[in-house]
Structure 1
Amino acid sequence: MGKNRGRIRAVGVGVSVVLLVAGAAACGNDDKGDKKDTAKADSAATASAAPTSKGPEAFSAAGYRGLKPAMAKDAGLATGALETAPVSLLDGCTDFVYKGGPAPDKTRMDAEAATEARYKDLNAKADAARGKSPAPAGTLPPGASAKDAAAAAAGSAAAAKDSAATAQLMADATQSIVDMWTARETRDKAFLATGRASFAATGLRELVAPAEAKTAEGIGVGSSVDDLQRAYGGKGLQLAKSGKYELPVEGQQGWKYEFTVDGGKVAGMAVANRDIKCT
């Protein structure tokens, strides 16, 4: 009987050991599961915190913010990249700024309209006047009367008056051309830092970069002329008569990069096709 009791105790102890081991294994497995779940959660959190941006878009002739060379005005507005109210109508082009850009300046736009109207009027009159040549005064024949002499003198005075009026007209027309250039420069300076898109009747003809934009080579506002030369000197960069540095766009006839420089640094940049007329 004593032996049986000893055996029963041994079996009981064995069962207890087995249960303890099983319980420990289960706890161990639970701990491992918890650790795996925690690791997965940490991994997911890390992934969600990781930046997904590929960096700022490069400014290029291939397109910027969905805007592409020769794109129709309505298509350009449909991209959502531009404000919908024009900021300039000078020369017959329609200009818009990027979203968040400055509001239309009515005072400047009214001045542009007045300058352009005067330019068109004076130059139309000057063109017409160039087609008219004053009649020659002629020479009085021998024995001409005093009446003939008086008529000839009146004719000469009228011709001189016409010539003076024509000369003044030509001078005014020339000044109106200067005024138009000044109006264009004023507009360009107004949007040199904020950027703009200029549409002709046939599509986008000029895209001015905002101040924060950079080309794929890292050139942007604040880059030095030396930086500009290092990036594009071997690709056809030239200093134009306008004072801007120009670089032809490969494979896009008529299109050029234009870099405005002030104080030895890039102050603005654009891609444009000046062969495309506004109207």
Structure 2
Amino acid sequence: MQNGDTVRIAHRRRLLAGAVALLLAGLATACQTTPAPGRTTAADGPAAAVPEQSPARFFGPDSFGKLSITMTEREALATGELQTEPVSTVLGKTVYSFVGGPKPDPARMAADEKLEQAVAKADAGTDTSAAGSAKAAKAYADSAQRMVERLEAFLGAGGASFRDGKLDAIAAPAGAVTAAGVKRGSSLAALKAAYAGQGLTSSSKTAYQLPVPGHAGWTVLFELKGDTVQYMSIGRGQP
């Protein structure tokens, strides 16, 4: 999961500790495969069936298909790899699916925007009544849950997210494979063997990261389910 989004989730949970514990029950385990990034995440599209990539295309360390981490949003859209309309535009990010991936859902996007407006109102703290506190608690909990859902959808289907017009993350779709042969379904042992001596480190109990050569602050993130690679992404400032 992308780091900035995860920090925001954690911050809101701390704000709600105690009085609204029941509202947040279960959120801590809702995103079992993500470390404390982005993703992010980011990111951030509606859940949908994951399109198969045939033949497999190489993913990383600094690109996927025609996309490169040095691209602006305009340059990335010009490659034809991404759909022309975003699937999410909240939390300061614009997220696109790959061509053939999930389509934008205007109703869901509008609901997400409305939810974030409710969170902004809660952040302002102008209503300190019991009813106002209850509304704020619900807004925080609903927003945190939607962050998890959007990030899991982004990682599952694959796509690219942008912040301030610059590429922020690329999530690998099903079928993508690294030059070293790692893909979804690869074992942890295979992951470690593939990148032995290349800077692979554990970033959490459920993820490993690999620095992107020549691009300080960028990493390839391998997120695990058990001892198996479930998601792969390239991101700026991933833990």
The TM-score with structure 1 as length reference comes to: 0.58
Q: What is the CA deviation profile of residues 50-103 of structure 1, one whole-angstrom value per residue up to 9, with x for unaligned ones?
A: xxxxx8542113221211114111111111111101111121211111111121
Contact 1:260 1:268 (8 Å CA) reproduced = yes
Q: Find the counterpart in structure 2 of residue 90 from structure 1.
A: 90
Q: Which moved more, 1:224-233 or 1:265-274?
A: 224-233
Alignment match of 1:265 (pick from 228, 231, 236): 228
The aligned residue for residue 65 of structure 1 is 65
Could you give the per-residue CA deviations for residues 112-131 of structure 1, whole angstroms, max 9, x where no partner exists? 212211111111226xx9xx
The corresponding residue for 2:80 is 80
- 1:264 corresponds to which letter in structure 2? D
Secondary structure in 2 matching 1:191: helix
Query: Which residue in 1 is equivalent to 2:171?
Result: 208
Give the conservation status (yes or no) of the 8 Å contact 2:58–2:176: yes
One-letter amino acid of the counterpart of residue 158, structure 2: G
Aligned-residue offset at 1:177: 4.1
Number of residue pairs matched by the alignment = 184
Q: Which amino acid aligns with 1:106?
A: P
One-letter amino acid of the counterpart of residue 179, structure 1:
D
Q: Which residue number corresponds to residue 194 of structure 1?
A: 157
The sequence identity of aligned pairs, in percent, is 35
Q: CA RMSD in A?
A: 2.6
1:232-271 equivalence runs, <5 A: 232-241=195-204, 243-271=206-234
Q: 1:214 to 1:171 in 2, by over 3 A?
A: same
* CA deviation after TM superposition for structure 1 residue 202, in Å: 3.8
Change in 2 beyond 3 A, CA 1:244/1:184: farther
What residue is the counterpart of 2:144 in the other structure? 181
| Structure with the higher helix share, 1 or 2 | 1
Question: 1:218 — aligned with what?
Answer: 181
- Trace 1:1-279 onto structure 2 (pairs within 5 A): 56-125=56-125, 165=128, 173=136, 176-241=139-204, 243-274=206-237
1:81/1:119 Cα in 2 relative to 1: closer, same or farther (>3 Å)?
Answer: same
Decide whether aligned partners of structure 1 residues 242 and 172 sit closer, same or farther in structure 2, where only a CA change above 3 A counts: farther
**Partners of 2:206 and 2:225 within 8 A in 1:** no
Secondary structure of the residue aligned to 1:199 is: strand
Shift of 1:208: 0.4
Contact 1:82–1:97 (CA<8 Å) still a contact in 2? yes
* Higher mean C-alpha displacement, 225-234 vs 72-81: 225-234
Q: How far does the alpha carbon of each residue in 1:196-221 deviate from its partner, in whole angstroms, 9 at most, with x for none?
A: 11011140000001111011111111
Change (3 A) 1:235 1:171: farther
Q: Which amino acid aligns with 2:91?
A: D
More contact order relative to length (CA 8 Å, sep ≥ 6): 2
Q: Can you list the C-alpha shifts for 1:19-46, whole angstroms capped at 9, x where unaligned?
A: xxxxxxxxxxxxxxxxxxxxxxxxxxxx
Larger Rg: 1
Per-residue Cα deviation, 1:214-246 (whole angstroms, up to 9, x for no partner): 111111111111111222353333333483322
- Give the Cα separation in 2 of the matches to 1:178 and 1:232: 38
Q: What letter matches 2:124 in structure 1?
A: A
Distance 1:263 1:106, change over 3 A: farther
Alignment correspondent of 2:26: none
Give the Cα–Cα distance (whole angstroms) in 2 for the partners of residues 104 and 248 of structure 1: 32
